[in-house]
Structure 1
Amino acid sequence: MDSNPKKSDHFNGLHWVVEDAVYAGEYKVKVWFRDGSVKIVDLKEPVFKERTGDVFVPLQDEQFFSRVRFDEELGTITWSNGADFAPEFLYEAGIDDGEGDAEEKQPRKA
Structure 2
Amino acid sequence: MDSNPKKFDPFEGLYWVVEDAVYAGEYKVKVWFRDGSVKIVDLKEPVFKERTGDVFVPLQDEQFFSQVRFDEELGTITWSNGADFAPEFLYEAGIDDGEGDAEEKQSRKA
Which category describes the TM-score, using the shorter chain as reference length?
0.7 to 0.9
The CA deviation at 1:10 is 1.4
1:20–1:107 contact (8 Å) kept in structure 2: no
**Identity within the alignment, %:** 95
Of 8-17 and 88-97, the range deviating more from structure 2: 8-17
- Higher radius of gyration, 1 or 2: 2
Gaps of 5+ in 1: none
1:83 is displaced (CA, Å) by: 0.2
Distance 1:9 1:101 in 2: 24
Q: Which stretch of structure 1 is more off in the superposition, 51-60 or 74-83? A: 51-60
| Contact 2:75/2:87 (8 A) holds in 1 | yes
Give the ranges of 4+ consecutive aligned residues of structure 1 lying more than 6 Å apart after TM superposition: 1-7
- The TM-score with structure 2 as length reference comes to 0.85
Distance 1:5 1:52 in 2: 48
* Structure 2 CA distance for partners of 1:106 and 1:73, relative to 1, 3 Å: same
Would you say the 8 A contact 2:37–2:99 is kept in 1? no
2:86, 2:3 → 1: CA distance?
27
CA 1:60/1:4 → structure 2, altered by over 3 Å: closer, same or farther? farther
> Could you tell me the TM-score, scaled by structure 1's length?
0.85
Call closer, same or farther: CA 1:32–1:107 in 2, change over 3 Å: farther
Contact 1:41 1:95 in 2 (8 A): yes
The number of equivalent residue pairs is 110
- Change in CA separation of 1:9 and 1:63 when aligned onto 2, cut-off 3 Å: same
Q: RMSD over aligned Cα, in angstroms?
A: 3.3
In 2, the alpha carbon distance for the partners of 1:107 and 1:7 equals 25
**Unpaired segments ≥5 residues, structure 2:** none
